[in-house]
């Protein structure tokens, strides 16, 4: 950098500080601003030194961008400085369609970590799990790799293969997954009737259309079998998404009180979201399933329903992302994402790095499928097997043909759900609640 350019930069920095002082009116913090100026002076000194004497020619813009990246990235795992290509990609997170492998990732202590796989995607089908640490993408190490760089490497042309290498707790050696990219589904809600009157509703993420999709699915479930007796809301491995969608979905089951509050350093970033009476009277019991992959907006829903005693939370402790980010565009296509607030449940709990603890802890397990052919009870002679036994009375001919519940386009495997230990426990709880309610005359 030429001396004239350096002096111009120095003048520009001095002018910037002067403007900041005049805007904020912090006359009493002159010493702090002087310290800031000294640090900026140190920065320009280092920049000038590298430009003059580094062994190779250096790109000043690249050095400055890397410095900004380090400044923002060291604040917390969710803050980042984004070049134009990364800022454009960010727009795909809540709308549109893109091709990738289907995982949500974060930087945890500087390490690229899987928050959760997105259900139905190549990563999910291959067995990538929450908390997996990604150490390589294709032949490139993820050490010191920016989050947006990792995202860009894993997204790409449909059907093209990307290889990721992960370290998993309990595994002695790294695991390799060869994943063929595919279109990542934007669909975020699915549902099925597990038993007459007992519905299962899965929310995979919180996108722009999630609330509307949720109402449609609830409407279908509530219209079957003279209404719902109980609902299982599955938020497992749901990495979150849009705050307003989480608030609206919580409001479907609450009629008053706070849903969530966000508190930041600036008054403009402090807000309370409340529940309001709705047209539908949903009094049926709800069990919400969570696990370590349930984060952000998922934790808002689970925390709100738990604090209002509107739902029983079952599973394992959630991820613990209790912070709110904003995205600001900068000039020349750059952008910055940074944390502006923490959020709190209705009872004032901050779940940052703590998570939502379930009311009933149940580990995930796929129960063994019962083999009726080898069951001793099934081999016993029963009344219906006796010669000339009376046939059962035909009280309801409609029961001969069981009506199959309407399923979503992406089918839910009801047999698999019944063998899911967490789903099965939730269903047992709902059915037991109905039985005891009748015994108590309520």
SS3 assignment for 305-358 = HHHCCCCEEEECCCCCCCEEEEEEECHHHCEEEEEEEEEECCCCCECCCCCCCC
Q: Which helix (DSSP H) or strand (DSSP E) does residue 395 occupy?
A: none
3-class DSSP assignment, residue 30: helix
Residues 272, 220: contact at Cβ < 8 Å? Answer: no
Indicate the DSSP class of residue 140.
E
Neighbours of 390 (CB within 10 A): 8
Nearest to 198 by CA among 151, 245, 231: 231
Q: Which helix (DSSP H) or strand (DSSP E) does residue 122 occupy?
A: helix 122-126
Give the integer Cα–Cα distance in Å for 2 and 107: 38
Q: Which of 182, 251, 307, 420 is catalytic?
A: 307
3-class DSSP assignment, residue 67: helix
Neighbours of 239 (CB within 10 A): 25
Q: Which of 129, 229, 248, 321 is catalytic?
A: 321
**Pair type for strands 182-183 and 99-100:** antiparallel
**Residue 321 annotated to the active site:** yes
Residues 165, 175: contact at Cβ < 8 Å? Answer: yes
Q: Which of 296, 298, 318, 323 is catalytic?
A: 296
Residues 278, 302: contact at Cβ < 8 Å? Answer: no
**Residue 354 annotated to the active site:** no
Each residue of 367-387: b (16+ CB within 10 Å) or e?
eeeeeeeeeeeeeeeeeeeee
From the CA atom positions of the chain, what is the Rg in Å?
Answer: 28
**Which residues neighbour 328 within 8 Å (Cβ) at sequence distance 6 or greater?**
335, 336, 337, 338
Active site residues: 296, 307, 321
């Amino acid at each position: 950098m030429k001396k004239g350019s350096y002096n111009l930069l120095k003048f520009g920095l001095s002018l910037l500080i002067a403007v900041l002082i005049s805007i904020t009116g912090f006359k009493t913090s002159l010493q702090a601003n002087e310290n800031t100026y000294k640090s900026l002076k140190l920065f320009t000194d280092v920049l000038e030194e590298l430009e003059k004497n580094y062994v190779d020619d250096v790109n000043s813009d690249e050095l400055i961008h890397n410095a900004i990246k380090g400044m923002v990235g060291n604040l917390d795992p969710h803050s980042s400085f984004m070049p134009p290509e990364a800022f454009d990609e960010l727009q795909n997170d809540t709308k549109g369609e893109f091709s990738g492998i289907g995982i949500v990732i974060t930087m945890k202590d500087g390490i690229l970590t899987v928050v959760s796989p997105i259900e139905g995607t190549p990563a999910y089908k291959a067995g990538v799990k929450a908390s997996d640490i990604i150490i390589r993408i294709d032949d490139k190490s993820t050490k010191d790799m920016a989050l947006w760089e990792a995202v860009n490497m894993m997204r790409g042309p449909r059907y093209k293969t990307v290889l990721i290498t992960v370290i998993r707790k309990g595994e002695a050696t790294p695991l390799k997954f060869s994943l063929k990219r595919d279109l990542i589904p934007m669909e975020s809600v699915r549902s099925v009737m597990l038993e007459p009157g007992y519905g299962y509703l899965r929310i995979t993420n919180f996108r722009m259309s999630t609330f509307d999709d949720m109402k449609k699915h609830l409407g279908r479930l509530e219209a079957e079998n003279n209404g719902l007796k109980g609902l299982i809301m599955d938020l497992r491995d749901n990495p979150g998404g849009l705050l307003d969608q989480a608030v609206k979905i919580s409001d479907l089951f609450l009629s008053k009180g706070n849903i969530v509050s966000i508190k930041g350093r600036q008054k403009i970033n402090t807000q309370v979201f409340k529940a309001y009476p709705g047209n539908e009277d949903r009094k049926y019991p709800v069990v919400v399933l969570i696990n370590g992959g349930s984060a952000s907006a998922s934790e808002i829903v689970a925390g709100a329903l738990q604090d209002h005693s509107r739902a029983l939370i079952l599973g394992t402790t959630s991820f613990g992302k209790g912070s709110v980010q904003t995205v600001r565009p900068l000039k020349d296509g750059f952008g910055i994402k940074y944390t502006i607030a923490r959020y709190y449940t209705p009872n004032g709990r901050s779940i940052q790095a703590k998570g939502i603890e379930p009311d009933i802890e149940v580990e995930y397990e796929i129960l063994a499928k019962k083999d009726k052919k080898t069951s001793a009870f099934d081999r016993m002679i029963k009344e219906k097997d006796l010669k000339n036994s009376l046939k059962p009375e035909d009280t309801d001919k409609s029961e001969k043909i069981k009506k199959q519940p309407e399923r979503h386009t992406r089918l839910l495997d009801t047999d698999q759900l019944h063998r899911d230990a967490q789903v099965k426990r939730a269903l047992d709880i709902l059915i037991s609640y109905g039985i005891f309610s009748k015994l108590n005359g309520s």
